[in-house]
């Protein structure tokens, strides 16, 4: 698996340059989830694919920007699901974005995930690698990712990141979020899953929620390349990740672009979600 992590590091350095200097315009393509692809989405997907082609242990790749699963090496052991440039529409307002990777064996159900990596392209470029634990790395001046620390969530945090449009929220979700704010939590939400979850992980905890909504009952975030990788990172950092009732890593996607409502956080906040959601 280390070779895959090295390939991700190499790709991340190339994607970072692309973000800084590449063309931020739209392409003519619409991806499987209905987003019009930016030229940067397509270019970063190609960079990552190029780096993964060099790694013989990767059997196949599933990208948010590709309609179908792509076979790389028949004898490979791992399937890598990735979102090459999450939050890419934030680039034109110069906010942080990221790349997310889930490393799977024998399938792409939540229980098949064996490792997860994400990269944050912000004022600094950072990478979090989750295997037995979750570790933070930072890109240095020599172009190497150096380990900074192991990430550990507290039992309870102070941040509340709430996704989707409020007019589509179920009433019980609205009640839960209002109660959390009433208890003194601060709103932190940029609209980029990677920096928003990274902030919760590094500030010790809190809650990130992307609920079911009236127009999207299964939420928006994709299981294979967004939700499962972050669920794995949160669990390895001592946190919890659920769909409202159930552990996210117990879910089985019905297709590669399947989505789910999701809640990531430290123990106390997730306990509050479970209490409220179990009544409905």
Distances (CA, A) of 63 to 41, 49, 100, 143, 256: 11, 9, 10, 26, 9
Q: Under the criterion CB under 6 A, does residue 253 sit at the interface with ligand F6P?
A: no
Write out the binding residues for ligand F6P, residues 138-177 only, by CB under 6 A: 163-164
Residue window 34-73: x/- pattern of binding to ligand F6P, with contact defined by CB under 6 A: ----------------------------------------
Torsion on CA atoms 84, 85, 87, 93, rounded to nearest 10: 180
We find the least distance from the C-beta atom of residue 33 to Mg ion, in angstroms, to be 8
We find the least distance from the C-beta atom of residue 15 to ligand F6P, in angstroms, to be 15
- 71: which 2 tokens? 């076979």
Q: Under the criterion CB under 6 A, does residue 191 sit at the interface with ligand F6P?
A: yes
The residue range among 125-133, 152-160, 191-199, 268-276 that interacts with ligand F6P, by the rule CB under 6 A, is 191-199
Q: What are phi and psi of 120, to 5 degrees?
A: -110, 125
Residue 180 CA, chain-centre distance (Å), reads: 23
Q: Under the criterion CB under 5 A, does residue 65 sit at the interface with Mg ion?
A: no
Q: Which does 163 bind (CB under 5 to 8 A by kind): Mg ion, ligand F6P, none?
A: ligand F6P
Task: Please say which residue, 172 or 189, places its beta carbon nearer to ligand F6P.
Answer: 189
Helix axes 267-277, 171-182, angle to 10 degrees: 140
Q: Which residues pair with 150 in a beta bridge?
A: 135
The residue count for binding ligand F6P (CB under 6 A) is 9
Distance CA 20, CA 209 (A): 30
We find the least distance from the C-beta atom of residue 199 to ligand F6P, in angstroms, to be 12
Name residues whose C-beta falls within 8 Å of residue 78's C-beta, 6 or more positions apart in sequence: 1, 4, 57, 58, 59, 103, 104, 105, 114
The residue range among 51-59, 74-82, 130-138, 189-197 that interacts with ligand F6P, by the rule CB under 6 A, is 189-197
Write out the binding residues for ligand F6P, residues 216-245 only, by CB under 6 A: 220
Name residues whose C-beta falls within 8 Å of residue 271's C-beta, 6 or more positions apart in sequence: none
Task: Please say which residue, 103 or 194, places its beta carbon nearer to ligand F6P.
Answer: 194
Q: Which residues pair with 186 in a beta bridge?
A: 159
We find the least distance from the C-beta atom of residue 64 to Mg ion, in angstroms, to be 6
Interacting residue ranges for ligand F6P, rule: CB under 6 A: 86-87, 163-164, 191-193, 196, 220
């Amino acid at each position: 698996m280390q070779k895959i992590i090295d390939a991700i590091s190499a790709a991340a350095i190339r994607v970072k340059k692309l973000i800084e200097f590449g063309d931020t315009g739209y392409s003519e393509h619409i991806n499987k989830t209905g987003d019009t692809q930016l030229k940067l989405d397509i270019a970063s997907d190609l960079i990552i694919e190029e780096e993964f082609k060099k790694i013989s242990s990767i059997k196949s790749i599933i990208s948010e920007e590709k309609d179908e699963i792509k076979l790389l090496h028949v004898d490979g052991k791992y399937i890598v699901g990735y979102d090459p440039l999450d939050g890419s529409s934030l680039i034109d307002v110069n906010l942080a974005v990221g790349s997310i990777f889930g490393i799977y064996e024998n399938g792409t159900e939540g229980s098949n995930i064996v490792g997860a990596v994400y990269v944050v392209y912000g004022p600094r470029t950072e990478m979090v690698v989750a295997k037995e634990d979750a570790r933070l790395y930072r890109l240095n001046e020599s172009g190497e990712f150096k380990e900074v620390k192991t990430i550990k969530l507290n039992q309870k945090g102070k941040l509340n990141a709430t996704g989707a449009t409020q007019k589509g929220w179920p009433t019980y979700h609205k009640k839960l979020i209002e109660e959390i704010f009433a208890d003194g939590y601060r709103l932190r939400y940029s609209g980029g899953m990677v920096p928003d979850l990274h902030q919760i992980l590094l500030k010790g905890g809190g809650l990130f929620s992307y609920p079911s909504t009236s127009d999207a009952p299964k939420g928006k975030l994709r299981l294979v390349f967004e939700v499962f990788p972050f669920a794995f990172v949160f669990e390895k950092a001592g946190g919890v990740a659920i769909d409202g009732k159930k552990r996210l890593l117990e879910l089985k996607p019905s297709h590669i672009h399947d989505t789910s409502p999701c809640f990531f956080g430290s123990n106390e906040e997730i306990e509050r979600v479970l209490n409220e959601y179990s009544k409905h």
